[in-house]
């Protein structure tokens, strides 16, 4: 038997049923307003280029041009840019997981001198806008000789304060008795982190992995700065170049819409598959503040 905030008896009252109906209508309106732009992109990608600008506009294409997706696949070099983006993502996740999990564990369960000050310092960095880090980050990458390499994107991933605070907040919720028992049995801190903490932290690790995927997939400014070679372009750079930056030789609007829709499919699939981990991880990180 399902139980909710409102009992079955109260739901039979006309005022409660009316409130439920209103909430459903609002939810439907929000869903339609959210999905309509995606539907417009899909239908526009199947039209002729000139039909997109008809006044009054047409909703359904007069002729369904499925070959626009093949043109977009070839013009945007989809296999190559997808491969580059995925390679960057896996390096991004590995660097972030190794660096931030060790730092979060030290701040959460080790008696590190001045760890409260370090924690407050990380909190303070969240008050600065992301663009404030562009020039210092670029100078560091330039002096290390990492320009035009995937390391220029992967290495800075290990200095993300928000992910660090999420991990630390999650680690704080793990009972300290588990660590004490492991240390009594002779386990080192590295063994405790690798064999106890990380297996217990799968929900928050999954959340950070999804956040990292979305960040890498949609990031443009930093990737455009540090990856000038076309052979290393990612999805976001390829979309920008062929839509706005190709020295005026932009592709037709229908082909651009087809490429945009193709680029949205991987993030949508990732979210649909792992949405349970997002809800679970975010709820766990909110238990302790």
Instruction: Let me know if residue 148 belongs to a domain.
Output: yes
Do 23 and 89 belong to one domain? no
pTM for this prediction = 0.81
CA-closest candidate to residue 230, choices 79, 77, 89, 86:
77
pLDDT score recorded for residue 11:
63
pLDDT score recorded for residue 250:
74
Do 121 and 249 belong to one domain? yes
Do 237 and 161 belong to one domain? yes
Do 19 and 149 belong to one domain? no
Instruction: Let me know if residue 79 belongs to a domain.
Output: yes
pLDDT score recorded for residue 211:
86
pLDDT score recorded for residue 225:
92
Query: To 10 degrees, what angle do helices 161-172 and 202-218 make?
Result: 170
Total tally of structural domains belonging to the chain = 2
How far is it between the farthest Cα atoms of the chain? 76
* Cα(109)–Cα(167) distance, integer angstroms: 12
Q: Which domain holds residue 225?
A: 70-285
pLDDT score recorded for residue 289:
40
Instruction: Let me know if residue 1 belongs to a domain.
Output: no
Query: To 10 degrees, what angle do helices 67-75 and 253-285 make?
Result: 80
Task: Write down which residue in 49, 65, 81 finishes a domain.
Answer: 65
Instruction: Let me know if residue 155 belongs to a domain.
Output: yes
3-state secondary structure 175-225: CHHHHHHHHHCCCCHHHHHHHHHHHHCHHHHHHHHHHHHHHHHHCCHHHHH
Do 30 and 149 belong to one domain? no
Q: Is the link from the previous residue into 56 a cis peptide, with omega within 30 of 0?
A: yes
pLDDT score recorded for residue 5:
57
Do 61 and 74 belong to one domain? no
Instruction: Let me know if residue 204 belongs to a domain.
Output: yes
pLDDT score recorded for residue 86:
93
Do 194 and 162 belong to one domain? yes
Instruction: Let me know if residue 95 belongs to a domain.
Output: yes
Cα distances (angstroms) measured from residue 49 to each of 39, 52, 61: 17, 6, 11
Q: End-to-end CA distance of the chain, in Å? A: 34
CATH number at residue 169: 1.10.3720.10
- Average pLDDT across each block of 10 residues of the chain; the chain has 289 residues. List them in order: 56 74 89 89 91 87 91 92 94 92 88 82 83 88 91 89 88 84 84 87 85 89 91 91 71 90 88 73 50
Do 30 and 122 belong to one domain? no
* Cα(54)–Cα(189) distance, integer angstroms: 66
pLDDT score recorded for residue 273:
80
Kindly report, residue by residue over 168-194, the tens digit of the pLDDT: 888 888 888 888 888 888 888 888 888
Do 14 and 110 belong to one domain? no
């Amino acid at each position: 038997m399902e139980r909710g905030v409102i009992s079955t008896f109260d739901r039979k009252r006309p005022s409660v049923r009316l409130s439920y109906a209103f909430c459903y209508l609002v939810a439907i309106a929000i869903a339609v307003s959210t999905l309509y732009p995606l539907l417009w992109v899909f239908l526009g990608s199947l039209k002729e280029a000139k039909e997109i600008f008809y006044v009054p506009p047409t909703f359904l294409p007069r002729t369904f041009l499925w070959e626009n997706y093949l043109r977009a696949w070839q013009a945007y070099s989809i296999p190559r840019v997808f491969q580059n983006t995925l390679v960057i993502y896996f390096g991004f996740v590995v660097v972030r997981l190794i660096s931030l999990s060790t730092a979060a564990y030290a701040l959460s369960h080790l008696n590190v001198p001045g760890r409260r000050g370090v924690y407050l310092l990380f909190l303070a960095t969240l008050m600065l806008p992301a663009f404030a880090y562009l020039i210092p980050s670029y100078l560091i990458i330039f002096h290390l000789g990492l320009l035009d390499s995937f390391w220029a994107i992967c290495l800075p991933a290990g200095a993300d304060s928000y992910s660090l605070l999420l991990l630390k907040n999650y680690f704080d919720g793990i009972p300290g008795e588990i660590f004490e028992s492991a240390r009594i049995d002779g386990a080192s801190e590295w063994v405790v982190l690798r064999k106890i903490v990380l297996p217990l932290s799968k929900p928050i690790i999954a959340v950070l992995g999804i956040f990292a995927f979305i960040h890498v997939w949609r990031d443009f400014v930093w990737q455009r700065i540090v990856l000038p070679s076309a052979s290393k372009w990612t999805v976001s750079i390829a979309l920008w170049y062929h839509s706005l930056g190709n020295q005026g030789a932009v592709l037709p609007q229908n082909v651009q819409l087809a490429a945009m829709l193709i680029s949205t499919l991987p993030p949508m699939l990732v979210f649909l598959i792992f949405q349970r981990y997002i809800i679970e991880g975010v709820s766990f990180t909110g238990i302790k503040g």
